[in-house]
Amino acid sequence: MRQTFKNYTQLVKFRLTSTVVATSIFGYILGCKINNSANWTADFNWTVFLGVLFGGMLVVFASNGLNQLIEKENDGKMNRTSNRPIVEGRISIEHARVFCLVTGALGVVILALTTTFTATLLGFLSLVIYVFIYTPMKGVSPLAVMVGAIPGALPPLIGYTAIVPRLDEPGIMLFLVQFFWQFPHFWAIAWLLHDDYQKAGYWLLPSQGGRDAKSAYQIVIYSVILGMVSLMPIYYHLCGPWALIVVVPMSVYFCLKAFKLLQTLDQAEARKLLYTSFLFTPLVFLSYILF
């Protein structure tokens, strides 16, 4: 049972799922705060909160599992993915397919029963875009990163629309912060794993030169855009001005790390940029909530 549990946690990429679902929780709390800034806890509903948490988690489980089903052959070619449970036969294709279909359907149903139509639709779209558009596109074009950034940026918007049942400016701002964050984050990963990705025919860096100045320059550009977008919730008074004490230093530091990568084109700097990206989103979203 312990090994089976481990196999399925690897199938659904549980640690990755946890970070994705955390952004939807941030989105829900921010939605409560924006919807009722005077007393946001009055709008907090545990049923909706748990629906966002577990419904969103199951949808991400299904997305990650279906991704591994589709990429089974390519996963076997890369060092970082060759030990995944479907590749090694620790989970059969049929069992994985049933598990993903059940978790995906159950996640959408939970969202439908506990949240809003908008949040449910966005949850369903995130699964469809990630599995059926982004996943096959990875082997065709580096533009897959842009397509993949859409479902990756939907969780905070799903959490937000669970309490504010419409697409409005505050929700779009949260989406944009998460959307632009993914480019330097994922390109840092692609920089480190470029050779491994090449084994499966994936070209995920933005430049045809791979780890070159053109790729690094685009990382810098998107890091600067991320910094500017992160200021929008403060500028439009979705949170207090004290959030600047977190957002500005984090944005400047993020851009400096990106610029350092441009200067050196070194994998060690790409790793530092990646670690910085792990800190950026939780700290910035927390500052929106706390201030």
The span from the CA of 214 to the CA of 188, in Å, is 14
Q: How many helices (H) and strands (E) does the chain have?
A: 14, 0
Range of 217's domain? Answer: 173-291
Q: Give the pLDDT score at 268.
A: 96
Among 108, 134, 167, where does a domain finish?
Answer: 167
- Residue 241: DSSP 8-state: G
Q: What is the CATH number of the domain that holds 158?
A: 1.10.357.140
Exposed / middle / buried, residue 48 (Cβ in 10 Å: 0-12, 13-18, 19+): buried
Task: Please say whether the beta carbons of 230 and 177 come within 8 A.
Answer: yes
pLDDT value for 239:
87
What pLDDT, on the 0 to 100 scale, is given for residue 237? 87
* Same domain as 39, residue 22: yes
Task: Provide the pLDDT for residue 208.
Answer: 83
Domain count of the chain? 2
Domain boundary among 167, 201, 227: 167
How many C-beta atoms surround the C-beta of residue 254 within 10 A? 24
Residues of the chain with pLDDT under 50: none
Looking at the structure, do residues 238 and 144 belong to the same domain, yes or no? no
Same-domain check for residues 200 and 277:
yes
The domain boundary, picked from 122, 141, 167, lies at 167
Q: pLDDT value at position 201?
A: 85
Residues 179 and 204 in one domain: yes
